């Protein structure tokens, strides 16, 4: 039997290719309402209505076959069959945004001129209708010489017709109207084609235009953005509390139950102190993570995020970056790894390198548990007036500190190591859309799952190993178990280095396993204190927050927070930087400068706080 035919989705960024891919193959590729979301190719299987199985590939968006950035290069190589280890696609699905037809037809002509079997998915016809556009697909079909199928990817409209069109797509001889055109000629042709295909147009985006005038206003825009972020961080603390408390109670209950049921011994201690206290101390932050992502996903889907990028462009230009860096930096608030990969949509190599180097300073969600546990223990839950909570304010300040640090570093790098001018910013603003509940639910579920999976795998493993290192060799009566343990002795070595910045031995101990994942800092503190409590019932019952309060001073806690704003405590980030920069030079540079910054920031915080009498 011959291999299944290969079908590839091509088109401008933000046309809805990944949404179509998901709808057709049942995959869960990330979709978001701004250009440059997909930066790698991804394949999946589907069965056409004719019963024919095909292999479908989702590609990064592109503006032309001549690549100007690493992600466009993937697209152009896959289409031409030059992608290593992959045959050229047999059929192309050219995805067009119906509400942005003229622009999207330029690249479509270039692709169709290749003469491969092809189908056009006239996607987002619902948005076109909403904006008062009535289109005639037959006109486009006539002009382009291939089947044109209207679709609404997110509502699964037109999928069967699209499948049938794929099944019957055949090789063609593109007419003279398509081949050998210059880019300018294609633009002129696109204009004429769009004009002919648009039957009627009643301007109905007045509301959106007004919204843009407000949100993109150079003065009002940043104020609105800041206010919005402010609400987000207040909500992370305020809304999460009842859920976090419930989870906390669940963890305590489990801990006590297992303790009561199991016989005394090392195995019981491993399960209660290592697994339940350690991993549980991280899991309780699930509600906060979910709330944070609910806001991020809503901002992405509505089209507001792209506006925020537009607003930030001026500020980015001041530090020598382009607004293009905004989306990768934004993704880094979830995790630096997809953020660093998203830099593939940046054209200028030095621009891209700078963005990679500063991405780890964006506060990723793995820091949230660390921040939250320390803030909850040391920052009073008071109102600073007008219903604004101090805890949320401190959390916002930590995020802002990361951003400001990153901008400062970019400024320095662009004048030294990655010298260059800021490049111009071209990004089309996506249409405003109401976030779809189902997409939000899927997105949140994915984030929650990533978090829980980390807790169940990497955090679990590291915590168990740490517990073992904390319990051997066993202390004699009268000795402190942590002091004599292997982990304790290792930490004593590191403690010498971090003592000048106010860290104690337990903090030093937390830093080592936290290289695997930042959240481990929390579970490792929880485990250390649980082991240290030994048989002391009172101490055992004390929650991690109370333990911290009784063992750390406020300046120490603040220094620890400052450390985590900058420290590159994540091996995966280093690994992905190595991959994206093809060598060890830049990851080594990143490690050195970020640890340096963390050390200075934590030290300065500690000594200033001490001097201020905190």
Ligand X SMILES: Nc1nc2c(ncn2[C@@H]2O[C@H](COP(=O)(O)OP(=O)(O)OP(=O)(O)O)[C@@H](O)[C@H]2O)c(=O)[nH]1
Among 74, 148, 154, 409, binds ligand X (CB under 6 A): 154
Count residues near ligand X (CB under 6 A). 25
Q: Of these, 5, 17, 344, 505, which contacts ligand X (CB under 6 A)?
A: 17
Separation of alpha carbons 135 and 129, rounded Å: 9
- Longest CA–CA span in the chain (Å) reads 91
For Mg ion, give the closer residue by CB, 21 or 503. Answer: 21
Q: Does 148 bind ligand X (CB under 6 A)?
A: no
Nearer to ligand X among residue 233 and residue 304 (C-beta):
304
Compare residues 126 and 506 and give the one whose CB is closer to ligand X. Answer: 126
Q: Identify how many contiguous H helices and E strands the chain contains and give both numbers.
A: 30, 8
Beta-ladder partners of 152: 157
Joined together, the tokens standing for residue 7 give: 């079908």
Interface stretch with ligand X, choices 150-158, 162-170, 255-263, 503-511 (CB under 6 A):
150-158
Is residue 152 near ligand X by the rule CB under 6 A? yes
Tell whether residue 123 is a contact of Mg ion (CB under 5 A).
no
- Residue 331 CB, shortest distance to Mg ion, in Å, is 13
- The DSSP output letter for 362 is S
**Which listed residue (15, 292, 340, 357) binds ligand X by CB under 6 A?**
15
Query: What residues from 475 to 514 belong to the interface with Mg ion (CB under 5 A)?
Result: none
Binding mask 2-41 for Mg ion (x = CB under 5 A): ---------------xx------------------xx---
Instruction: Tell me how far, at minimum, the Cβ of 16 lies from ligand X, in Å.
Output: 3
**Contacting residue, 72, 110, 126, 543, with ligand X by CB under 6 A:** 126
Kind and range of the H or E element at 537?
helix 537-541
Cβ neighbours around 500 below 10 Å, total:
12
For ligand X, the binding residues in 83-102 under the rule CB under 6 A are: none
Mark out the alpha helices in 262-387 (DSSP H runs): 266-269, 280-283, 286-302, 304-318, 326-331, 336-342, 349-358, 367-378
Cβ pair 356, 580 in contact under 8 A: yes
123 binds ligand X (CB under 6 A): yes
Pattern 292-331, ligand X, x by CB under 6 A: ---------x------------------------------
Distances, alpha carbon 588 to alpha carbons 412, 550, 565, 592, in Å: 18, 38, 19, 6
Site residues (CB under 5 A) for Mg ion, limited to 381-420 = none
The Cα–Cα gap between 526 and 545 comes to 9
- Cis peptide upstream of residue 295 (ω within 30 degrees of 0): no
CB of 513 to ligand X, least distance (A): 36
Give 300 or 532: the residue with its C-beta nearer to ligand X: 300
Only segment of 146-154, 418-426, 549-557, 577-585 that touches ligand X (CB under 6 A) = 146-154
37 or 54, CB closer to Mg ion?
37
Length, in residues, of the chain: 614
Angle in degrees, CA 40, 46, 50, rounded to 5: 140
Q: Which of 10, 37, 361, 406 binds ligand X (CB under 6 A)?
A: 37
| Complex with ligand X: residue 77 or 255, whichever CB lies closer | 77
Give the residue from 412, 411, 462, 443 showing the smallest Cα distance to 570: 462
Token pair listed for 104:
């999207």
CB-count burial class (<10 Å; 0-12, 13-18, 19+) for 86: middle
Taking CB under 6 A as the rule, does residue 31 contact ligand X? yes
Give yes or no for a contact between 326 and 316, defined as CB atoms under 8 angstroms apart. yes
**Contact footprint for ligand X (CB under 6 A):** 13-19, 31-33, 35-38, 60-61, 123-124, 126-127, 152-154, 301, 433
């Amino acid at each position: 039997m011959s291999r299944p035919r290969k079908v590839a989705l091509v088109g401008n960024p933000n046309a809805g290719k990944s949404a179509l891919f998901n709808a057709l193959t049942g995959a869960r590729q990330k979709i978001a309402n701004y250009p440059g979301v997909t930066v790698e190719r991804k394949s999946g299987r589907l069965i056409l209505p004719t019963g024919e199985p095909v292999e479908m590939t989702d590609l990064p968006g592109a503006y032309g076959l001549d690549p100007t950035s690493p992600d466009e290069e993937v697209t152009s190589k896959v289409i031409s069959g030059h992608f290593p280890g992959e045959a050229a696609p047999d059929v192309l699905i050219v995805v067009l945004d119906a509400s942005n037809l003229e622009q999207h037809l330029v690249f479509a002509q270039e692709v169709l001129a290749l003469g491969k079997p092809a189908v056009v998915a006239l996607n987002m016809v619902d948005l076109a209708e909403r904006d008062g556009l009535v289109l005639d697909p037959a006109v486009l079909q006539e002009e382009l010489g291939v089947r044109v199928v209207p679709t609404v990817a997110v509502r699964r409209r037109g999928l069967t017709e699209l499948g049938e069109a794929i099944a019957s797509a055949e090789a063609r001889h593109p007419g003279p109207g398509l081949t050998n055109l210059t880019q300018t000629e294609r633009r002129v042709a696109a204009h004429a084609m769009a004009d002919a295909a648009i039957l009627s147009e009643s301007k109905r985006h007045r509301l959106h235009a007004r919204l843009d005038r407000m949100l993109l206003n150079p003065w009002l825009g940043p104020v609105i953005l800041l206010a919005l972020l402010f609400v987000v961080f207040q909500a992370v603390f305020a809304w999460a509390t009842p859920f976090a408390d419930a989870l906390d109670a669940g963890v305590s209950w489990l801990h006590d139950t297992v303790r009561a049921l199991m016989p005394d011994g090392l195995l019981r201690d491993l399960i209660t102190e290592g697994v339940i206290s350690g991993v549980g101390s991280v899991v309780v932050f699930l509600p906060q993570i979910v709330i944070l992502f609910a806001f991020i996903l809503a901002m992405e889907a509505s089209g507001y995020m792209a506006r925020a990028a537009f607003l930030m462009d001026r500020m980015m230009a001041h530090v020598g970056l382009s607004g293009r860096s905004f989306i990768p930096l934004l993704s880094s608030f979830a995790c630096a790894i997809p953020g660093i990969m998203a830099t593939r949509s940046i054209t200028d190599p030095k621009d891209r390198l700078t963005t990679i180097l500063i991405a780890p300073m964006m506060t990723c969600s793995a820091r949230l548990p660390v921040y939250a546990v320390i803030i909850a223990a040391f920052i009073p839950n008071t109102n600073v007036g007008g219903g604004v909570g101090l805890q949320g304010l401190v959390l916002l300040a930590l995020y802002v500190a990361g951003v400001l640090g990153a901008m400062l570093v970019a400024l320095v790098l662009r004048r030294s190591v990655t010298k260059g001018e800021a490049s111009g910013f071209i990004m089309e603003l996506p249409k405003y859309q109401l976030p779809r509940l189902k997409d939000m639910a899927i997105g949140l579920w994915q984030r929650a799952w990533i978090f829980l999976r980390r807790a169940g795998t990497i955090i679990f493993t590291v915590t168990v190993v740490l517990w073992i290192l904390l319990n051997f060799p066993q202390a004699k009566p009268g000795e402190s178990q942590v002091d004599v343990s292997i982990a304790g002795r290792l930490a004593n070595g590191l403690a010498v280095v971090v003592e000048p910045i106010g860290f104690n031995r337990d903090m030093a101990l937390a830093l080592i396993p936290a290289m695997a994942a930042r959240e481990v800092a929390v579970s490792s503190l929880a485990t250390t204190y649980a082991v240290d409590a030994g048989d002391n019932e009172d101490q055992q019952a004390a929650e991690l927050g109370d333990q911290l309060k009784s063992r750390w001073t406020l300046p120490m806690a603040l220094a620890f927070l400052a450390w985590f704003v900058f420290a590159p405590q994540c091996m995966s980030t280093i690994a992905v930087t190595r991959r994206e920069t093809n060598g060890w030079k830049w990851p080594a540079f990143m490690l050195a400068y970020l640890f340096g910054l963390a050390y200075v920031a934590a030290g300065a915080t500690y000594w200033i706080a001490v001097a201020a009498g905190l």
